[in-house]
Amino acid sequence: MTPNMTQNTLSPVWACLHTVEDPEIPVVNIVEMGIVRDVAEDGKAVTVTITPTYSGCPAMKMIEDNIILALEQAGFAPVTVKTVIAPAWTTDWMTESARESLRQYGIAPPKPTCGATRSPFESPNMHVACPYCGSAETELRSRFGSTACKAIHFCSGCHQPFESFKCI
């Protein structure tokens, strides 16, 4: 989880944010992805602080709109979404449930603590296990997949192409 997250699991705001899906990967929500950094509540007024998975993420406007819509439909107003880019988002902020959801969806998740343990000389896409069969006999086919945060691989074990979420 994000280092500054002050999540109150009993809070209706946090419960509502768990319903907001990542628009590019609909099997995970924005809290599981570590995009939500903080929530400040003042009566029915709410400020949600978010960090994009990378600074040019095209889904951020849709995420902001979906946060506002979900919270307003739940009776909160006004709703403000604040975007912060420092510290930069890292895949280390993803929850284990997000990683497992990615794997079940057919996207190889990043390893936990990948940013902290990766050598600067190691490719961010080395040693990616196939999400379908678990084989480590995979090869990188393209550094870019359907989004800039994913890469395309091929599994020699089950002969399936698949995407991996880049370790950031």
pLDDT for res 149: 86
Residue 42: count other Cβ atoms within 10 Å of its Cβ: 8
Mean pLDDT of 124-134: 82
Q: Is the pLDDT of residue 115 over 90?
A: no
Q: What global pTM score does this model have?
A: 0.84
Domains of the chain: 12-89 (3.30.300.130), 92-165 (no CATH)
DSSP secondary structure letter of residue 43: T
- State how far Cα 108 lies from the chain centre: 13
pLDDT (0 to 100) of residue 33: 96
Q: What is the dihedral of CA 31, 91, 63, 67, to 10 degrees?
A: 20
Helix (H), strand (E) at residue 39: strand 36-42
Contact present, 135 and 155 (Cβ < 8 Å): yes
Q: How confident is the model at residue 6 (pLDDT cuts 50, 70, 90)?
A: low
Give the mean model confidence (pLDDT) for residues 21-30: 95
* The pLDDT of residue 26: 92
